[in-house]
Structure 1
Amino acid sequence: MAERIDHDVKPTPIGPDAREELERLLQSLHEQGMLRFANDVVSAKSPVLKVLLDGLGKQATLNAIQNLSILGMALSRIPPEEFYKLVFGMKDALAALSRSPTASGKEEAPGVTGVYRMLNDDELWASLRPALDAVQAFSRRMAEPADKPVTQFTGKQTEM
């Protein structure tokens, strides 16, 4: 009787394997000059590391990093549709301010009668109400103590 022959069928390659991908990545990094840059950074580790640590150790740098993280936290709570309305509302408000007749100084003061009419203008008050509410909310937030912003945002205690 004949002996059994073990034969493993290799799967048909459907794309580059990991080694080929690694070689391609390495070649791309070389062509873009990233390998030379990384090598230069590693070779000059002492001066570069000293500059980075000196920069990160300053209070102004730490403040900037914390402020950017707070901005990120605030932006993460604003839905994109609300942020869109906010940004383009501010753009429209600035455009309205720049073409306002009072900006050019051509409009006269309304006088006592004009002020009385403005006090009774329901449409004016309806449009001013959101702005007044915004000023109140801003004032309330400014009155709150803010010792550790991350603690207030997440509710977790911080050690800094």
Structure 2
Amino acid sequence: MAEPLDFKPTPVRTDTTAQEEWEKLLETLHRHGVLRLANDLVARNQDVAAIVVKGLQTEGARNVMQNVSALAMVLGKVPPGAVYKFAEAVREAAAVLDETRRGADDAAPGVRGVYRLLNDDELWRTLTPLARAVGTFGRAMSQPAPEKPIVAHSGKPSDA
């Protein structure tokens, strides 16, 4: 009688190895010219660095960096839902402003029309938050701008 064979087939590999992925990435970077750009930047690093440093030493570049930082600090305090709500409201308002059709409703309301508008509760419910927001914006704009916004944001002294 024959003895059973002890045979275990080697499993077929289905995923790629890290080495194969690395070679694929390297080939893709080469085909798209990224490696050439990187080599040129490294070969000319002193020239490129001098251009970048010279550009960053201007008053305008410093202002841009500080303005972007200030926006990031302020936007960091605003919940994403509020930013989305604001952006959506701006989009809807722009769509209304962009409407080219003008109907009979756009005619001057006259004295009776103004009186009807004064008694329109829905209009006042819409305008009241807008009036409050404009008042808040005006009060905030009347405050002097901080010399160093990072200090106003964090409360910590800065030499920047």
TM-score by length of 2: 0.74
The correspondence of residues 119-134 of structure 1 with structure 2, limited to 5 A, is 119-134=118-133
Aligned pair 1:154/2:154, yes or no? yes
Cα distance in 2 between the residues matched to 1:68 and 1:21: 41
Question: Quick check: 1:146–1:152 contact (8 Å CA) kept in 2?
Answer: no
The correspondence of residues 1-150 of structure 1 with structure 2, limited to 5 A, is 20=19, 24=23, 29-30=29-30, 32-99=32-99, 107-147=106-146, 148-150=148-150
The one-letter amino acid paired with 1:118 is L
Question: Quick check: 1:56–1:62 contact (8 Å CA) kept in 2?
Answer: yes
Taking only the aligned residue pairs, the percentage that are identical comes to: 40
Shift of 1:23: 5.8
Shift of 1:140: 1.3
SS of residue paired to 2:158: coil
* Structure 1, unaligned runs of 5 or more: 1-14
- 1:117–1:57 distance in 2 versus 1, CA, 3 Å: same
Cα distance in 2 between the residues matched to 1:36 and 1:132: 57
4+ aligned runs moved over 4 Å, structure 1 = 20-32, 103-106
Aligned length: 144
Root-mean-square deviation (CA), in Å?
2.8
Cα distance in 2 between the residues matched to 1:29 and 1:138: 49
Cα distance in 1 between the residues matched to 2:69 and 2:45: 28
The one-letter amino acid paired with 1:151 is V
1:63-95 CA deviation, whole Å, 9 max, x = no partner?
A: 111111222222222222211111111110111
* Structure 2, unaligned runs of 5 or more: 1-15
Shift of 1:43: 1.4
